């Protein structure tokens, strides 16, 4: 075989195990649940193979599912917004700090390595009836009896922000770190105030990082079901909880398939819009 032909073939040999794995374990299963979502769950509990629209009709028209979907998207949006508001200045601080940037970044990334379930549950220690905050407030005498602060929508958002903030900080940091600082100086020397040069130079240049961080926070936030289970109340279920309920608890696999594809479609549209305007390369920068 010629050297050229080998050069052409070799990368495909190297890529084939990973591509095969992703095709077999992700893409084909996704196509498979598309088919499955048209099957019918019968009263006996068996699935009837065929082309039925019942699951989709139920998933798309039942107000129960629609409300929870909207609730999920709302929670993800608020979480993303809070992550941006908290994460951007923190990332800016790290990127423009004269101190040891890697250490500052690592410090903020450390909680990212700490187990998700531990981080989620740790808020019970803070906000619980005999948690740190209530104990403190009782001690200084602001309140006379412990307040119930847990198990509502706010604590679900709090837990999600705590979980997702590092994704935002990392993406914004990568973006800010790549901006030449002398650009700001140039703006300043041309008469812009520091605030103006930030708004007109630095912020626009860092928007791709903000968008990448936002996309990750939103997608991961909207797909979660552990946080509402641990920190939410009985009415704080998110869409992924419905999927879990249908698949694991009720074993209604056709309906569960339709519901998970619905979630995938909603978030997929978002990813596609993102990809259309910013491209996946930006996302990979911030993830690596």
Partner 1 sequence: MAERTTSFGWHMIRGYAVLVYIFMFLPVMVVVLLSFNASQFGSFPMTGFSFRWFIELWENEAILRAFRTSVILGLLTAAISTTLGVLASLALVRYRVPGANMISTILIAPILVPEVVLAVALLLFLNFLGVNKSFALLLFGHVIFTLPFVILVVQARLIAIRRDVEEAAMSLGASPVQTFFQVTLPLMLPAVLAGALFAFTISFDDITGTLFWKPGGVETVPTQIFAMLRNSISPEINALGTVMIVMTVGLPLLGAAIARQLSKKSGL
Subset of residues 4 to 43 that bind partner 1, contact rule: CB under 8 A = 7, 10-12, 14-15, 17-19, 21-22, 25-30, 32-33, 36
Judged by beta carbon, residue 42 or residue 193, the one nearer partner 1 is 193
Closest approach, Cβ 136 to partner 1, in A, equals 9
Q: Per CB under 8 A, does 288 bind partner 1? A: yes
Closest approach, Cβ 108 to partner 1, in A, equals 6
Three-class secondary structure assignment of 203-237? HHHHHHHHHHHHHHHHHHHHCCCHHHHHHCCCCCC
Footprint on residues 180-219 left by partner 1 (CB under 8 A)? 181, 185, 194-195, 219
Contact 278, 72 (CB under 8 A): no
Closest approach, Cβ 233 to partner 1, in A, equals 15
Phi, psi of 230 (to 5 degrees): -85, -40
Closest approach, Cβ 144 to partner 1, in A, equals 16
Footprint on residues 41-60 left by partner 1 (CB under 8 A)? none
Closest approach, Cβ 53 to partner 1, in A, equals 19
> Can you tell me which residue has the tokens 């928007």?
207
Q: Of the listed pieces 56-64, 205-213, 249-257, which binds partner 1 according to CB under 8 A?
A: 249-257
Footprint on residues 217-236 left by partner 1 (CB under 8 A)? 219-220, 222-226, 230
Residues 240 and 250: their CA atoms lie apart, in Å, by 14
Q: 33 CB contacts (<8 Å, ≥6 apart)?
A: 257, 260, 261
Closest approach, Cβ 68 to partner 1, in A, equals 13
Residue 47, strand partner residues: 41
Contact 87, 172 (CB under 8 A): yes
Closest approach, Cβ 277 to partner 1, in A, equals 15
Footprint on residues 114-153 left by partner 1 (CB under 8 A)? 114-119, 121-126, 128, 130-132, 134-135
| DSSP states of 44-111 | TSPEEPS---HHHHHHHH-HHHHHHHHHHHHHHHHHHHHHHHHHHHHHHHHHH-SS-HHHHHHHHHHH
# residues near partner 1 by CB under 8 A: 89
* Interface with partner 1 (CB under 8 A), residue from 78, 152, 203, 253: 253
Closest approach, Cβ 51 to partner 1, in A, equals 17
* Interface with partner 1 (CB under 8 A), residue from 59, 87, 155, 179: 87
In angstroms, the Cα distances linking 208 to 78, 84, 94, 106, 215 are 20, 13, 18, 22, 10
* Interface with partner 1 (CB under 8 A), residue from 56, 92, 151, 173: 92
Footprint on residues 256-285 left by partner 1 (CB under 8 A)? 256-257, 260-261, 263-264, 267, 271, 275, 280-281, 283-284
Query: Which tokens sit at 151?
Result: 């198990």
Residues 211 and 171: their CA atoms lie apart, in Å, by 9
DSSP at 1: -
């Amino acid at each position: 075989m010629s050297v050229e032909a080998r050069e052409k073939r070799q990368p495909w040999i190297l890529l084939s195990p990973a591509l095969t794995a992703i095709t077999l374990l992700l893409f084909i299963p996704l196509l498979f649940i598309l088919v499955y979502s048209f099957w019918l769950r019968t009263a006996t509990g068996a699935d009837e193979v065929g082309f039925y629209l019942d699951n989709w009709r139920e998933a798309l028209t039942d107000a129960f599912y629609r409300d929870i979907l909207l609730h999920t998207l709302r929670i993800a949006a608020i979480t993303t917004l809070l992550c941006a508001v908290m994460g951007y200045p923190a990332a800016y601080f790290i990127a423009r700090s004269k101190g040891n940037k890697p250490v500052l970044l690592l410090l903020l990334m450390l909680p990212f390595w700490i187990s998700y379930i531990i981080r989620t549950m740790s808020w019970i220690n803070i906000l619980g009836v005999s948690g740190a905050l209530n104990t403190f407030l009782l001690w200084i005498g602001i309140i006379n009896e412990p307040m119930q602060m847990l198990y509502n929508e706010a604590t679900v958002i709090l837990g999600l922000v705590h979980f997702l903030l590092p994704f935002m900080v990392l993406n914004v940091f990568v973006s800010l770190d790549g901006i030449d600082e002398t650009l700001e100086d140039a703006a300043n020397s041309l008469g812009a105030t520091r605030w103006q040069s930030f708004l007109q130079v630095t912020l626009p240049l860092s928007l791709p990082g903000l968008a990448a961080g936002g996309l990750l926070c939103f997608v991961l936030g909207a797909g979660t079901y552990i946080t509402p289970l641990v920190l939410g109340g009985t009415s704080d279920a998110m869409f992924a909880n419905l999927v879990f309920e249908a698949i694991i608890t009720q074993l209604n696999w056709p309906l569960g398939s339709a519901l998970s594809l619905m979630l995938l479609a909603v978030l997929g549209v978002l990813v596609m819009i993102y990809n259309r305007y910013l491209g996946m390369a930006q996302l990979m920068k911030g993830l690596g």
